Amino acid sequence: MLALSNLHAEGDGFVPPSTNDFNLPPISESISWLTKPVLLVFLSVILVSVFFVLSSRKAAVVPSKLQFAGESIYAFVRNDLARDVIGHDFMRFVPYLFTLFTFVLTNNIFGIVPFLQFPAMSHVGFPYVLAVFTFVVFHYVGIRKQGLGKYLKEIAFMPGVPKPVYILLTPIELATFFLVRPLTLSLRLFANMFAGHLLLLVFIMGGDYMMHDSHLIMKLFSPFSFAFGIALTFFEFMVQCLQAYIFTLLTALYIAGALADEH
Amino acid sequence: MRSINLLAEGEAANPLIPHTAELVVGTIAFTLLFLVLRKAVVPMFEKAFTARTEAIEGGIERAEKAQLEAQRALVQYNEQLSSAQGEASKLREEARIQGAAILEELRTKAQEEAARITATAHASIEAERQQAITSLRNEVGALAVELASKIVGEALDDQARQSRIVERFIEDLEKSK
């Protein structure tokens, strides 16, 4: 892998896509931080804002087509995620969950949108940020609800468990709440997007390589590689939606857990 | 492009190490989006949802009220109908009884009248017959006496004899019949 990633000269055989394919150079060399994923994230903010502001601006009892489209997504997050998971007092968290879902979904889908074709969430910095937000939100909610001492005590010493079990359980619970949850939340999203994009790269670049190869058999098999790449694109779309859903769902679950009287 | 990339990297990048710029951009972008959606989108959708719920509930309420009213009207209508039917049958019964009574009365009257007329007719016929017999007797007697006196040539002015002769004459008449 290491050796291959350094070999970019043409004609040396197929160079499989590597992690370096995710390190896109800055758009302009003078602004080193302005890379493609950064631009895409800003684009997603603009697109999501414009779409939902337009669709909700004249929200009426009888919705227009645009309102219906925006409203359906909003109602999905509001009812199926926030209300059904958090239950009572869920309205407080709807704006956060709604932003989370639309933000992640849009940036994920960028991975298969022609010309954009890069899932911003495959850059681990963005999922980290989102996981930190969720981390802060659900701990804050729990501390506000039960007080810092009681909240920590409930996490560390789960009630209704025989005392000796705490030797095992307490470290596990503490690790779950303060380490595992944010890490899995961000890494799951990152890894899915990263792997998905890599997979697409393999088949599309592989097809391209085979098409330009001198061997006839390679040329003949090249369309299959492309076809598989296209099929995987549909699969990726599913994964992208699913990951946005899971991220939001888990956030809602963590909030619900912090709000519950007992874990 | 490739060379720039390699220069920037130096070595193979660890994909788990975030870029500082991306952390900052991610935070800003997410916060921005959150503020926009919370301020401008969520309240509008919520308003529409509330209005819709109210519209539906109001509609249901109106429909229930209308149904109640219709039911009340139906009950009232049924009551009126049944009372009208009762009244009609009562009237019919009364009319039937009255009609029968009138008919009976008329029949009796007619029979009485007929009987009376028959009786009157009988009486007048009888009277006329008697009158006819009497006058016939007198006339026939006078005629017969006159005839006889003419024929016999003797005056039969004696009352007693005269009537005896008439009697005999009539008896002869009846016998010869």
- The closest CB to that of B44, out of A19, A37, A59, belongs to A59
CB–CB contact B23 A129 (8 Å): yes
> Which chain A residue has the Cα nearest residue B43?
A56
Cβ–Cβ < 8 Å for B30, A103 = yes
Angle at B46 (CA atoms; ends B41, B48), nearest 5 degrees? 100
Q: How close is the nearest chain A Cα to the Cα of B19, in Å?
A: 6
**Distance of alpha carbon B55 from alpha carbon A161, whole angstroms:** 51
Does the CB of B38 have a partner CB in chain A at under 8 Å?
A: yes
Over residues A192-200, the mean pLDDT reads 93
Q: What is the pLDDT of residue A236?
A: 94
Is B17's CB within 8 Å of A124's CB?
A: yes
Query: Which residue from A207, A204, A223 is spatially nearest to A117, judged by alpha carbons?
Result: A204
A23 vs B contacts (CB less than 8 Å)? 5, 8-9, 13
∠ CA(A177), CA(A183), CA(A184), 5° rounding? Answer: 95
Place of tokens 């909003």: A74
Query: How far is it, in rounded angstroms, from Cα A1 to Cα A24?
Result: 19
Secondary structure tally for chain A: helices H, strands E: 9, 0
Question: Tokens 């990339």 map to which residue?
Answer: B5
C-alpha A158/C-alpha A146 separation (Å) is 14
Do A120 and A37 touch, CB atoms closer than 8 A?
yes
Can you tell me the ipTM of this complex? 0.87
CA dist., res. B126 & res. B142, Å (int) = 24
- pLDDT tens string A71-119: 999 999 999 999 999 988 899 999 999 999 999 999 999 999 988 889 9
Q: What's the pLDDT at A262?
A: 55
Amino acid at A95: P
Residue A60's pLDDT band, with cuts at 50, 70 and 90, is confident
Q: What is the DSSP string of B42-83?
A: HHHHHHHHHHHHHHHHHHHHHHHHHHHHHHHHHHHHHHHHHH
Strand, helix or coil for residue A190: helix
